[in-house]
A and B are shown apart, each in its own frame.
Chain A
């Protein structure tokens, strides 16, 4: 096959070659090609082993796609994701969204306080479950259950600082919570393993 393409390349004429290697046909980057490289920071298959980086496996495709576009535009604050998101077009972002949506979410194995998790469940059921169903398992509005505590702290701090825009209801509910409440809520999500 290589020889054949080489032959065509010669025949087409004027194809300059820097090396003696034949010109190889290439197909556009596949979903796996685009997505595998994200795993360096987000873990194999998007299941993060790092405490501050979220697991992106099993994320709802639309949620992922929207998040990446918000990173790209700067609407969602970030240290590094915005810079990276700018390297991809809409089609590529969608391909990555679908790729990670098809990976199996593995809940982070992390310590939690059972007492706090119990209080957190009450707070969740009262304030959060309308949009974050099934105890905050991955859905249209992101994955909370089984996400790393450190990451959840970062995300909530972003909402509270006003840098990250969330639904008004959520920001309001978060603002009313004490630090202990937020700690309890995070322990509840961490308890789901």
Chain B
């Protein structure tokens, strides 16, 4: 077995503190330390917020945020781009102002490895040491579970568009290029995945576009789950009210929804998908693949035995597997909290406060989280789900008799959703 860099670093991390031949990890810190240091990897909904709120909690802690992209494209509301009622530019932000304002050191780089033993992250610029490391890497895809799926080429033909960006625009272009009367296929993986209501809001936005421009078209949904994962009643109501949907007869209306229909195989050449019992051809095929924690979580060995998500202490968000590495956002398992932008924002704040407590030798603080998620039904109406979350006996649970769903589709929440997004983005960028 050849030793790649990753296994080498793991080996060093395993305890061989003194090695005579040069290693990446023993290289000196590319940034001189100014005191206690927290390194944050990933500048999204979790990472940008944990960096900022660490500095708010204790400005004597040095915080270094490492992010690969200078322009960050946020996911929420990006489904609206498909309907042509929002642009991707409206979802784009930069971290510079926030970093300057709060004294966060911002490094645009890619982290390639983590040496937990030496408490260093390795990025292309070199090694950076930490007292505490926070990983907020978002998601990676389990492409290997879909037969015939080529990670390099299939997304260019059957876009997943599950990270807002070029994939979103590709899916939009495919919808625009499709003839009226075409078939759009959307496949949804088994939960949990990023943004539980996301696939169903996407169906709304594709339907809105088709209704306006290609009304003879059809959307066929294969959902690996038994039923719509979030806001099920409200989504069905919206489909029935605006787009044509009959849960007894899938041949009627624009939207045909099939639960318990798990994608097993794709044929990009034939533009077909397979669920083990049926072969379905589409003109546009949106395959949302099953997911797992982002790649750096895998490299840092903080992914749990399920090989999907990172198991963390529900008070501190410290990995249950590797000391002094905390994982927040979609990559971690946070009990009843969903994999949402708002949950990542909330987890980041809990994690920041508790890292500051730990570094100052103080007791941890009992977490208090909020989740608020909006989904658009049309361009004018939206619905929301909300909840308050606390930790109880090691588990994150929803506070009973609080939160819940919008009673109905409504216009005011469409304006609150836009306003929510302005605040979510401004929290990250200012």
Contact = CB atoms under 8 A, between A and B. Distances in A.
A26 B366 contact: yes
Interface stretch (B32-40, B165-173, B264-272, B411-419): B411-419
B430 interface: yes
A20 interface: yes
Given A19-B320, A27-B366, A40 B342 contact: yes
B419 A87 contact: no
Nearest to B389: A87
Interface in B346-361: 346, 349-350, 353, 361
Nearest to B384: A80
Nearest to B323: A21
A33 B57 CA distance: 10
B422 A50 contact: yes
A36 B365 CA distance: 13
B336 to A, nearest CB: 13
Nearest to B420: A41
A80 B406 CA distance: 7
A52 B366 contact: no
A87 B320 contact: no
Interface in B328-357: 342, 345-346, 349-350, 353
A30 B424 CA distance: 23
Contacts, number: 147
A56 to B, nearest CB: 11
A36 B353 contact: yes
A41 B76 CA distance: 13
Nearest to A42: B423
Q: Determine chain B's interface SS by DSSP, over half rule.
A: mixed
Given A37-B346, A86-B403, A26 B426 contact: no
A33 B350 contact: yes
B423 A50 contact: yes
A172 interface: no
Contacts of A37: 345-346, 349, 368-370
B367 A29 contact: yes
Given A32-B353, A79-B416, A80-B413, A21 B370 contact: no
Interface residues of B, number: 54
Contact of A51 (B353, B419, B425): B419
A155 B365 CA distance: 36
Nearest to B52: A44
Contacts of B345: 37, 40
Contacts of A50: 418-423, 426
B154 interface: no
Interface of A: 1, 18-21, 24-30, 32-34, 36-44, 48-53, 79-80, 83-88, 92, 150, 154
Given A19-B394, A49-B430, 7 more contacts: A27-B366, A37-B345, A40-B420, A48-B423, A79-B406, A80-B416, A86-B403
Interface of B: 52-53, 57, 311, 313, 315-316, 318, 320, 342, 345-346, 349-350, 353, 361, 363-370, 372, 384, 386-388, 390-391, 394, 399, 401-404, 406, 410, 412-413, 415-416, 418-427, 430
22 contacts: A21-B318, A29-B366, A29-B367, A29-B368, A30-B353, A33-B353, A34-B368, A37-B369, A38-B370, A49-B423, A50-B421, A52-B415, A52-B416, A53-B420, A79-B413, A80-B372, A80-B406, A80-B413, A84-B386, A84-B402, A85-B402, A154-B412
